[in-house]
Chain A
């Protein structure tokens, strides 16, 4: 490098020397000294170009030029920091937001499941309308029948998840999240263990099946990554299991928000439930045979199901319908709509960002046309000019890319940690390099296209014209129209996304203010897990002892127990016989069922509209009672008084045969599963009539949940030292899980819509500001001639507002078409809600007026004298 520098210095010396000699020669020929020098210079040619061409001889020239252009480009960007900051930040926002959201979309929706040939994996559902359930679970005997008669699947398995497996003997007892599976489970998925093996055929047989497969995380945390773990024993839920394998970290199935800790054979863990045809608790997973389509599989399974319905009329009716569908879409269907809408919103942000930068570059290129003219006059070739501008554009895009990458990285972290738990595969999100490069390329193309094209147009124009004018003819009609079209589209696009955000915000406020029928604030809940020696009777007795003890705790205002707890995800649906009415096998009466303790309605603040609450004496043999909700009364006793009527549910636990229950009260409707649901018929019975061990205790208290929970644990352990207290949560926490997705999507969409609006308004602001600066002269003349301020204001404001309103009109039409796509996300508001649309238009118009007015005001401060001297 130094040698080259020397050489170039020599060259300069050489050239100077040459010109001097030529001058001397000319003088000797008799020219006056001054002319002699000019003649010598003319004869020599363009000194700079000669030096440059000579330098080019020395190879590294290309790289050197690039470096010089980079250097120059950086200087140009530094010289206009405002432009640089706005352009870089704008593009970075577009790149960052797109990278983050697309990374989520890809990880959750698009990336194939990490199993062998995942496209052939299927979900198998059978409808069970009699139990009020579409896509119901299946029972193990039913699954075995399917498997026996199956001709379309290469392999099949069933599974369920449970949070109640308890691991003991490795320190403090730990509660595990286990998948209870049939033995083919791992084979269907086509996965290999990290060590050990998967389940064997005999492990489908009760008594021989006590095998367990650990997740890598469980192996690490509870077994200290013991390399000899395979073959050792572990005590899980009072049974001893032999550990036969460890799965690699990447393996998770079923894919849920909380990772699965271990896999246990259903023949061991569900030894008592698995053989019962009436216990519908399993999901079915199958792998299609090669050449079989999902439709073919569906029709075959329907045929099997219809045969089974005839054979076991208790469980199914012919024609209930079964369905075989691809696994991945089923897995993510709940999150798909929201993610697609969000993706649309960030794409809009990117489009607006690009439009904005295009606009900035157009204006800048026009402003620089004189610079280009000067450069051409000084001997710059067009290729060099293009190269230089290209470098500037690329620099912009690189800075934007770097910032965008940071933003994206940060945003993904925020999305994953703040995202709702019920988005599957969210934890697997990582920054997607492809989409980052794609967005970077989009920004690059934008900046090159809009930085270069106008510059080329200017450089074509007559040099002398460009040189003489302050601002060149490049600011012609063509560019103006292009810039205005960009502004209009920005406003239109941002209006669409603001509308979408508005609709989601209204949905959220409807969801948050929905009348749940109970008051979730200050209600603490928990459940206990009792040793397996507790049968139903002993469990009931345990709660009979526990509840009075808890009631005595300071701070416990009211308390009761219930199963299922609203919004806990549990539910029972049963059929009813109504006394004096023939049961109709085609459409049997069905309703949700809940076992509720004394004071349940008072504790939950559920209105008891008629009749009375449960009493201690209720539920004794022969004195069975029930409280129904309004929806039940409306549906089954539309023109009668339900009080005193008798119903009988088909739900029964092992030692309590169902009896006729007298309806003693009517309670207000409550939401049980979802805030969006319509009221469903629901029947409450005293716990003694439905002694379910899995009760949740509900306590209305103003004390902090933490302090209360430790007091509760003390009381539980005083009664049963081996009992486990779990799910200590407030009802609000349960609800916030339900509200998680709508809150999350409304928040994100609002952020993106805000960004879109901000960018569009920056664009509008810039356009008006530029127009004012262009017309300073004209405004000066008008004011000198006596124009009043308001007419000047109208002059500059008018165009901006016309652009904004045109954009609003187009955006409104677009929003009308596009918001339909988000119907499934909305609640309590229609996709074309007039109030939302009106509000959005008013908001956009108002903001547009401000964005136009601020720069327009500057026109009023134009001093006519200054403006006139400007020429």
Chain B
């Protein structure tokens, strides 16, 4: 495990993992491990995905038609499964992102009304 202490990490809210996967795949097709790494790295290791839980989420997204999976060859010439965003998934990502922004904004305003004012 990485150097950060368990306590400082935040467990993902139900459903947010889906959003993060979609966001990660916006950058281009990736295989499972790469998605997990990307989420960890991009969140500066704050968000710790229990890597296993990625797979049920991936399959859930496939089933909904937001992403699809394809056989491909990875950087070191190994067979791997690449997941990429579908058109439907792109739309969904936009929808979910704006939803998330509204939610995050609302929560932030409630929690820190003064700071919020100051920053904006």
Contacts and interface: CB of A to CB of B under 8 A. Distances in A.
B109 interface: no
A544 B55 CA distance: 106
B56 A56 contact: yes
A14 B78 CA distance: 12
B56 A22 contact: no
A54 to B, nearest CB: 5
A13 B80 CA distance: 9
A58 B1 contact: no
B59 interface: yes
Contacts of A11: 55, 59
Contacts of A39: 1
B60 interface: yes
Given A10-B81, A25-B37, A43 B51 contact: yes
Contacts of A18: 31-33, 36, 51
B53 A50 contact: yes
Contact of A57 (B1, B36, B52, B59): B59
B115 interface: no
A42 B48 CA distance: 13
A15 B52 CA distance: 8
Contacts of B59: 11, 54, 57-58
B51 A53 contact: no
B4 interface: no
A61 to B, nearest CB: 11
A541 to B, nearest CB: 102
B52 A21 contact: no
A17 B33 contact: yes
Contacts of A51: 55
Contacts of B55: 11, 14-15, 50-51, 53-54
Nearest to B31: A17
A22 B52 contact: no
Given A18-B33, A47-B52, A50-B55, A42 B60 contact: no
Interface string B38-56: 0000000000001111011
A44 B52 contact: yes
A11 B60 CA distance: 13
B80 A45 contact: no
Interface string B78-92: 101100000000000
B56 A57 contact: yes
Contacts of A50: 52-53, 55-56
Contacts of B53: 45, 50, 53
Give the interface size bracket for B toward A: 20 to 34
Contact of B52 (A10, A17, A45, A58): A45
B81 A46 contact: no
Interface in B1-54: 1, 31-33, 36-37, 50-53
A454 to B, nearest CB: 33
B63 interface: yes
A49 interface: yes
Interface in B54-98: 55-56, 58-60, 63, 69, 78, 80-81
Interface in A7-62: 10-11, 13-15, 17-18, 21-22, 25, 39, 42-47, 49-51, 53-54, 56-58
Interface of A: 10-11, 13-15, 17-18, 21-22, 25, 39, 42-47, 49-51, 53-54, 56-58
28 contacts: A11-B55, A14-B31, A14-B80, A14-B81, A15-B32, A15-B52, A15-B55, A17-B33, A17-B81, A18-B31, A18-B32, A18-B36, A18-B51, A21-B33, A22-B51, A25-B37, A39-B1, A42-B1, A43-B50, A45-B51, A45-B52, A45-B53, A47-B52, A53-B53, A54-B55, A57-B56, A57-B59, A57-B63
Given A11-B59, A17-B32, A39-B1, 17 more contacts: A10-B81, A11-B55, A14-B31, A14-B32, A17-B80, A17-B81, A18-B31, A18-B33, A18-B36, A22-B33, A43-B50, A44-B51, A50-B52, A50-B53, A53-B53, A53-B56, A54-B58
